[in-house]
Chains A and B, each alone.
Chain A
């Protein structure tokens, strides 16, 4: 079962910017490679209609530099490279995200699974992510 397809869409929207920045940080990369990297990493399929507007915003904020290179037999590829400004943003947001997940984890632990039995939890359908 591909559990990654089941992440709630709101969570993905919140974390996508950070994950894409991290994927770009690995070196010059292009849209499809970023999308494949996110899918392999367990985030699920990020569609072009979601990914490229985000990359366009990165360009506008000068978090990435771009460079067109000829493709292999097909159309050219637009490569993205993280700038110093993008790298700084990645570091800031990574630290903040780590703190956030630690906070939520602590909150969830405090709530404690023992307080509510599994039979008492109403099965809520998981919303399909829009990515």
Chain B
């Protein structure tokens, strides 16, 4: 097994060393994209390993293909992965994205002392981004499964989305609104602060991430470590969006 594969299968090899890591990885991946909590996935994986240890059968023989077995269990979607749970994640991030657009758009007009014009293309793009975020929250599981199975579809949709955004910004330059750039600054900072505060409160308030994979009788120390890693990963986009917005604002404001 190559180093890359060893790294890829490290977690499932640690949690279920008695069964094929490829099978275990596919099983965990299938249930993960279906929004099943890490604790439930881990318990199901442990039960598979336990059965194989007792019966001496290879996992593929006893349980068949990993994805089919995962689907046959009909495990419930975790509360954090339900539509309500996802909305609590994406709405603050959508607010942050609106703030990012507004803050960056206000930088040049503020620097030049001119009014800020909002074009039809920019307005349309903001609406498309918000709609896309809400759509992804609604059909997150299906979207993740499609991209996981057919990465080319994900790339094609991403490129197409970017092309539409650029074309819309370039082609629809008609100004639909002209406001003082201070409004853009206030809206941008306000949305960024509100979105960031809501996201930080959500991450800190959640008792623990349900996405963390755990198995029964595992060392508590290892579980805590993985939970800390997951929390850091959840916090990353929350901090990156305002940081990116402020950095862009400063560069545009100071260089023009």
Chain A interface residues toward B at CB < 8 A: 30-32, 35, 47-49, 52-53, 56-57, 60, 68, 70-71, 74-78
Contacts and interface: CB of A to CB of B under 8 A. Distances in A.
Nearest to A53: B72
A32 B73 contact: no
8 contacts: A35-B55, A47-B63, A49-B68, A52-B51, A52-B73, A60-B74, A74-B53, A77-B50
**Which 7 pairs from chain A and chain B are nearest by CB?**
A32-B54, A48-B62, A49-B63, A74-B53, A53-B72, A68-B216, A49-B64
Nearest to B70: A53
Contacts of A47: 61-64
A49 B216 contact: no
Interface of B: 16, 18, 43-44, 46-55, 57, 61-64, 68-69, 72-75, 215-217
Contacts, number: 72
B213 to A, nearest CB: 15
Given A53-B74, A60-B74, A78-B43, 20 more contacts: A30-B50, A31-B47, A32-B54, A32-B55, A35-B55, A47-B63, A49-B69, A52-B44, A52-B48, A52-B51, A68-B216, A74-B49, A74-B50, A74-B54, A75-B46, A75-B53, A76-B46, A76-B50, A77-B50, A78-B47
**Which of A31, A49, A71, A74 lies at the interface centre, i.e. has the most chain B CB atoms within 10 A of its CB?**
A49
B18 A74 contact: yes
